[in-house]
Structure 1
Amino acid sequence: MSKNGNADASIPILNGSIRIPESYVFDRVHAEPEEVVLVSGTLIEGIGNIHSDLDIYVIVNELPLASSFDIASHVTVCDENDEILTPDQGDTEVGSTYDYYGDSGLHVDVKYITYAEVSRIFETIRWDFGETIVDKKLDYPTVRSSLAKEQEKFVHRLQHGIALTNPEKYEALKAECPVAEYCFLLYRQFSPNYFTFKDVQGTWQAGQLPMAREIARGLVVGHMQSITHLNQNSNKTSKWIFEYVDQLPDWATETRHRFLEFVAMGASNEQESRAYVLAAMDLMDKIFATGVGLMRLQPLYPSPEDCMKHLDAALDLRNDTQHLLSQHAYQFRAKNFRVSEAPLSALVDIGNA
């Protein structure tokens, strides 16, 4: 019987085509009565597939020892560093276990995380957010989170879980999580970088059009992902971008449609390649404008107007503010915060800008 007292309780996934008994989960985890067993991942979020992982987190006071597990009954039992444990390592703390769910193709990934580590994750996000919005950093879009990859995954999965035990503790942790601040960090991480745009300029002018296409495409996809984070997408895994693009607000429908049309475009000759790059730049302008609108919706975030003040102050510190390249850098970065700049397509070819 599952610990919620209902022997028939199950977890529906893939539109109910598969139901995983809660008893199956409890048979494969080690959890004390006061600890949280959380089922999460893309399957719970509703965007996974038959080969996705069912991600389970056990939020514990202390990591369990390997001696608490029947190691032979799991595909793998690993320590905190993902090193596979053997039965003679009973005194080692367990970080995760891995299993398959029957013959379905589903993988079951159980991770153990302490309350203390969860608190550290939240503190790190708040610190990073505070550092990111200081004046001197607002004009540089690319900022990275200090969290490790698995910690980043936990932040997202915490937002989309089902607590099988202690749901009140789960809801308290979810409420405490600074997810809006974390999403801003992801937005900044994926925001387009002026130095990459310079590579589009360079390859365009050199006639290296396959490379120009690829760089331009990367800019567009990364840029589109960045605004999904402004829309409070906390999943930084790029392969799911189309799911989160679909969740943009109705007023961004044109941006969404143009993005989907762009990623389906092809180019097989010089004329088509140049048209592709210019289409990418025009779409970038549209995404920039959408991002400005999304930034205004979150009171925690700096306003576009304040960001422009800091960008202007940064420009004033340069020794040659009238140099063409200084102006290009300024115009590109200003697009993050206002929509009145010259179109990017006019900046691709310096000679024609």
Structure 2
Amino acid sequence: MIELKPINKQIDEKEILNLLNLKGNELVFLSGSLIQGIGNRFSDIDIFVVVEDFEELKKDETIVYNHDDIKTTFSSILGIGCDIEYWPLSTVKEIFNQINNLDKSDIDSPTLTQLDIKGYSLNSLTSFVHRFLVGKPIHNANIYDELKASTNLDKFYQFMTRYYINLVDGFYNDATGNLDKGEYETALYLARDILIKTISAYVFSQNVTLDREKWAYLNLKNISKENKEAARILQKVDKVLFYKNLETAEDLKENAEQIIILINNIINIISKEHGGY
């Protein structure tokens, strides 16, 4: 039985497999926030089917979006929506092969073009890796275990930490520039967005994965339960994001400045821990 703790439900693996037209040699794993334990009653279950003969799926009339890279369809079970994605095994193997072949100079590169598979965006590739890592295999688990065991996950976490730091770098001057200009509302808006990206970088630096920034705060909160440094960061994040009275322009300016200082502090923590970035 699959435990969905956020909504206090259980689902039989066989019922999920019955939603799929399987031939036997596919890898099937479940993922998403419900499987990870951080979802809610509106969350879906993500079902990933990794197939060797991807071309054969072109004949499958049950697939709603029959694209060349990823094929997607939808279903439901016990009132819970299910998003079903089909991926070619060759692509999945290439993703993990490219992760294993990353070196320090690749990860330090500001361009981050080292995960590059024709027809796929970087976001779709890294999102798949995240969902794989937090996933639960329910069919041909040996394939899942072999792929995971053969992958240097430290390189993936380092890569994603660098990715988010690059995003921070890209928006940082926009926040400080608007602050200097006196556009305090815009500066604060940008600073908050950059802080979430900074938290995402920190989460990955702790060898925890996420695929959407909306989960960054919750992941930081979970990490803080056993990590004193993360708990101190969380306390500061709470202070600047949630417990400020913003009634005047000076309040907006001060809050934006405090967030920018916190951003720099978190980036420095990441750099000290990992010797760079």
Per the TM superposition, whether the score is higher than 0.5 is: yes
Tell me what 1:268 maps to: 247
Question: Which segments of 5 or more consecutive residues in structure 1 lack a partner in the other structure?
Answer: 1-9, 83-93, 296-302, 305-335, 337-353
Tell me what 1:253 maps to: 231
3-state SS of 1:234 partner: coil
Deviation, structure 1 residue 67: 4.5
Tell me what 1:53 maps to: 44
Aligned 8 A contact 1:129 1:182 in 2: no
Tell me what 2:5 maps to: 14
Tell me what 1:342 maps to: none
1:80 corresponds to which of 41, 50, 67: 67
Q: 1:133 and 1:41, CA in 2 relative to 1: closer, same or farther beyond 3 A? A: closer
Tell me what 2:158 maps to: 184
CA distance in 1: counterparts of 2:4 and 2:15, whole angstroms: 14
Tell me what 2:19 maps to: 28
The one-letter code of the counterpart of 2:267 is F
The one-letter code of the counterpart of 2:256 is V
CA distance in 1: counterparts of 2:17 and 2:170, whole angstroms: 50
Tell me what 1:211 maps to: 186
CA distance in 1: counterparts of 2:57 and 2:107, whole angstroms: 41
Tell me what 1:345 maps to: none
1:118 corresponds to which of 84, 89, 92: 92
Q: 1:67 and 1:220, CA in 2 relative to 1: closer, same or farther beyond 3 A? A: closer
The one-letter code of the counterpart of 2:254 is A
The structure that is helix-richer by fraction is 2
Q: 1:130 and 1:30, CA in 2 relative to 1: closer, same or farther beyond 3 A? A: farther
2:200 corresponds to which of 206, 210, 225: 225
CA distance in 1: counterparts of 2:37 and 2:170, whole angstroms: 37
2:268 corresponds to which of 289, 293, 305: 289
CA distance in 2: counterparts of 1:12 and 1:201, whole angstroms: 46
Tell me what 2:218 maps to: 243
Deviation, structure 1 residue 200: 3.0
Q: 1:130 and 1:68, CA in 2 relative to 1: closer, same or farther beyond 3 A? A: same
Question: Which segments of 5 or more consecutive residues in structure 2 lack a partner in the other structure?
Answer: none
Over aligned residues, Cα RMSD in angstroms?
2.6
Deviation, structure 1 residue 193: 4.3
The one-letter code of the counterpart of 1:250 is K
CA distance in 2: counterparts of 1:190 and 1:273, whole angstroms: 25
Q: Can you list the C-alpha shifts for 1:225-259, whole angstroms capped at 9, x where unaligned?
A: 11111112322311111221122532332112111
Q: Percent identity between the aligned chains? A: 20
Deviation, structure 1 residue 205: 2.5
Q: Can you list the C-alpha shifts for 1:270-323, whole angstroms capped at 9, x where unaligned?
A: 22112112211221232123213442xxxxxxx33xxxxxxxxxxxxxxxxxxx
3-state SS of 1:170 partner: helix
Q: Can you list the C-alpha shifts for 1:83-136, whole angstroms capped at 9, x where unaligned?
A: xxxxxxxxxxx822211234x3x21111222221111112333455555246xx
Tell me what 2:57 maps to: 65
Tell me what 1:197 maps to: 172
1:44 corresponds to which of 35, 44, 61: 35
Q: 1:130 and 1:115, CA in 2 relative to 1: closer, same or farther beyond 3 A? A: farther
Deviation, structure 1 residue 156: 0.9
Deviation, structure 1 residue 81: 4.9
Aligned 8 A contact 1:31 1:37 in 2: no
TM-score by length of 2: 0.84
Aligned length: 266
3-state SS of 2:11 partner: strand
